[in-house]
């Protein structure tokens, strides 16, 4: 591809290194430049319109042109554009948001700690749990259990908890004390003839075996997304979280709910923890907290977690952790207004209602020769692509079919994301049935086009 030397595409290739991108391939192809957004849609710099069926990165709850968030940011910029929360400093938006989040929590929580991204928040979780174990006189209790295909971020600690190979390869990860148990994907990981409940029973038993093999007194916590996102939109099998929580309770192991994708309505309830009756000790939030109009994340902890940490900070004289932009007044102001919009416009109910419609419509594709499984809940779903339904296989190179189909879908005006050979769909929570009809119709046409090429 030849790029005009003064074009924005050529300048991007010359100066900009991208996240989650093949750097050499990018030098050949250049970027897709998004110029503006309107509701659930975005437009590139040629004026072409796309349904943003990934809400950016699972994150723009209220869409791409919400004036109330722009106004909230502007007003706060004019009043107090920045301040920090080090050394007992505070400001109104941070206090208001912390209070609001505690009020919204599905289980009793005590304190909110702010950071800038889900990765930073999960990194902080691991640090604080190590700190807590030392405070409790349990220096051996430093291990955390995550899951294969789980996604918790990209810092050294959070990427270690992430259970995806490409987040570890050549980065010398994972670090010590991070364990990974089985992914709860019934379609891929269940034994032949194994029901969802039997699968969940087996996974809980495997978790207990791991705990016993490692030593229960060495394990401080387990972290999990209510519904796995970047690992392929994996909805847990029936009774999974009930059985896992029973094992954790038996060995006095804390539960961390990574709500970065699920939080603020994505699953059809305010939090994914509510959808699956999880009772976490720590909850991690970002993305839809501000609709990602501003970088902001938060973790909530209960009294059981907070009290030993507070005691240790008193013993040492300081809690030696924090980041410059944490509890940023502009981000907090945007988050408060974003939550108001979600509440006032009934967007959680919309995610449940339109989400059920999206699940229903996507499942009309189940008989397509390229579709192995359609899965999801609320306004988050995945379509697993295969070439052979019986063997559940695609091309020899994993991800090749997914990438090909996602690229064709993009050409046809819908932005999805290929996670190996699964296409993800996670549109803004303002999405309508009409938007879903257009998305599914375009997806069907795209699948037909790809099938004509690969099955001929």
Q: Could you tell me if residue 13 is inside a domain?
A: no
Indicate the helix (H) or strand (E) that contains 343: helix 329-344
DSSP-based three-state secondary structure for 271: coil
Q: Kindly tell me if the per-residue pLDDT of 1 is higher than 80.
A: no
Q: What is the 8-class DSSP label of residue 290? A: T
Do the bridges between strand 34-38 and strand 41-44 make them parallel or antiparallel, or are there none, so unpaired?
antiparallel
Total number of residues shown for the chain? 456
Show Cβ contacts of residue 286 under 8 Å, excluding neighbours closer than 6 positions: 59, 117, 118, 121, 260, 263, 296, 297, 298
Which of 344, 370, 403 is a domain's end point?
A: 344
Which of 312, 344, 376 is a domain's end point?
A: 344
- What is the CATH number for 58? 3.90.1150.10
Phi and psi dihedrals of 107, rounded to 5?
-135, 160
Residues 335 and 365 in one domain: no
Residues 306 and 382 in one domain: no
Residues 340 and 404 in one domain: no
Q: Could you tell me if residue 3 is inside a domain?
A: no
Q: Could you tell me if residue 6 is inside a domain?
A: no
Q: Could you tell me if residue 25 is inside a domain?
A: no
d(CA 274, CA 264): 11
**pLDDT at residue 5 in the model:** 83
Residues 145 and 43 in one domain: no
**pLDDT at residue 456 in the model:** 78
Q: Could you tell me if residue 2 is inside a domain?
A: no
CA distances from 377 to 156, 269, 272 (A): 30, 10, 10
pLDDT in tens, 207-254: 999 999 999 999 999 999 999 999 999 999 999 999 999 999 999 999
Tokens of 359: 């699940």
**pLDDT at residue 292 in the model:** 98
Could you list the residue range(s) of the whole structural domain that residue 447 is in? 32-65+346-454
- What is the CATH number for 241? 3.40.640.10
Looking at the structure of the chain, the number of domains it has is 2
**pLDDT at residue 73 in the model:** 98
Contact 227, 380 (CB under 8 A): yes
pLDDT in tens, 68-106: 999 999 999 999 999 999 999 999 999 999 999 999 999
Residues 301 and 360 in one domain: no
Contact 287, 331 (CB under 8 A): no
pLDDT in tens, 274-329: 999 999 999 999 999 999 999 999 999 999 999 999 999 999 999 999 999 999 99
Residues 234 and 333 in one domain: yes
Q: Could you tell me if residue 223 is inside a domain?
A: yes
Q: What is the mean pLDDT of residues 438-454?
A: 98
CA 105, chain centre distance (Å): 18
Q: What is the largest CA-CA distance in the chain?
A: 71
pLDDT in tens, 377-430: 999 999 999 999 999 999 999 999 999 999 999 999 999 999 999 999 999 999
Q: Which long-range contacts (CB under 8 A, 24 or more apart) does 390-396 make?
A: 392/187, 392/188, 394/421
**In a 10 Å sphere around its CB, with 0-12 CB exposed, 13-18 middle and 19+ buried, how is residue 237 labelled?**
buried
Tokens of 424: 């993800």
CA 117, chain centre distance (Å): 11
Q: Kindly tell me if the per-residue pLDDT of 140 is higher than 90.
A: yes
Q: Could you tell me if residue 317 is inside a domain?
A: yes
Phi and psi dihedrals of 424, rounded to 5?
-95, 145
Q: If you count DSSP H runs as helices and E runs as strands, how many of each does the chain have, helices first?
A: 16, 15
Q: H helices within 18-174, ranges in order? A: 23-29, 55-58, 67-79, 92-104, 118-135, 156-161
Residues 47 and 100 in one domain: no
**pLDDT at residue 2 in the model:** 73
Q: What is the mean pLDDT of residues 23-49?
A: 97
Which of 344, 365, 400 is a domain's end point?
A: 344
What secondary structure does DSSP assign to 181-210, as a single string? E----HHHHSPTT--HHHHHHHHHHHHHHH
Q: Kindly tell me if the per-residue pLDDT of 372 is higher than 90.
A: yes
Q: By 3-state DSSP, what share of the chain in percent is helix, strand and coil, each rounded to 5? A: 45, 15, 40
pLDDT in tens, 61-73: 999 999 999 999 9
Residues 220 and 239 in one domain: yes
Q: Kindly tell me if the per-residue pLDDT of 341 is higher than 80.
A: yes
Q: Could you tell me if residue 7 is inside a domain?
A: no
Q: What is the mean pLDDT of residues 29-55?
A: 98
């Amino acid at each position: 591809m030849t790029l005009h030397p003064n074009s924005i595409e050529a300048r991007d290739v010359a100066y900009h290194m991208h996240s989650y991108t093949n750097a050499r391939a990018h030098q050949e192809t250049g970027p897709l430049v998004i110029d503006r957004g309107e509701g659930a849609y975005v437009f590139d710099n040629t004026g072409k319109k796309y349904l943003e069926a990934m809400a950016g990165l699972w994150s723009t709850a209220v869409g791409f042109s919400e004036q109330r968030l722009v106004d909230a940011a502007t007003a706060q910029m004019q009043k107090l554009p920045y301040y920090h929360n080090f050394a007992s400093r505070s400001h109104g938006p941070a206090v208001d948001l912390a209070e609001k989040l505690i009020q919204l929590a599905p289980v009793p929580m005590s304190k909110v700690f702010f950071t800038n991204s889900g990765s930073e928040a999960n990194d902080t979780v691991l640090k604080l749990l190590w700190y807590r174990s030392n405070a409790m006189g349990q220096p051996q209790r430093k291990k955390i259990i995550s899951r294969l295909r789980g996604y918790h971020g990209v810092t050294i600690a959070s990427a270690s908890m992430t259970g995806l190979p490409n987040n570890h390869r050549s980065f010398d990860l994972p670090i010590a004390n991070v364990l990974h148990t089985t992914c709860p994907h019934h379609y891929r990981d269940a034994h032949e003839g194994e029901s969802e409940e039997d699968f969940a029973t087996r996974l809980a038993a495997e978790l207990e075996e791991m705990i016993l093999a490692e030593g229960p007194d060495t394990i401080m916590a387990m972290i999990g997304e209510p519904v796995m996102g970047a690992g392929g939109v994996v909805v847990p099998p029936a009774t999974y979280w009930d059985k896992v929580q029973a094992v954790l309770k038996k060995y006095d192991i804390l539960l961390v709910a990574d709500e970065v994708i699920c939080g603020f309505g994505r699953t059809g309830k305010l939090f994914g923890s509510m959808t699956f009756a999880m009772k976490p000790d720590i909850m991690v939030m970002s993305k839809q907290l501000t609709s990602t109009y501003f970088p902001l994340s938060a973790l909530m902890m209960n009294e059981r977690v907070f009290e030993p940490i507070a005691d240790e900070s008193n013993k040492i004289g300081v809690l030696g952790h924090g980041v410059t932009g944490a509890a940023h007044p502009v981000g907090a102001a945007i988050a408060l207004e974003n939550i108001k919009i979600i509440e006032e416009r009934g967007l959680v109910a919309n995610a449940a209602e339109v989400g059920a419609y999206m699940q229903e419509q996507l499942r009309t594709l189940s008989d397509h020769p390229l579709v192995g499984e359609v899965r999801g809940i609320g306004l988050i779903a995945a379509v697993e692509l295969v070439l052979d339904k019986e063997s559940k296989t695609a091309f020899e190179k994993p991800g090749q079919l997914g990438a090909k189909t996602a690229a064709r879908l993009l050409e046809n005006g819908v932005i999805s994301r290929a996670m190996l050979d699964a296409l993800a769909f996670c549109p803004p929570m303002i999405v309508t049935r009409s938007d879903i009809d257009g998305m599914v119709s375009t997806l069907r046409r795209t699948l037909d086009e790809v099938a004509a090429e690969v099955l001929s």
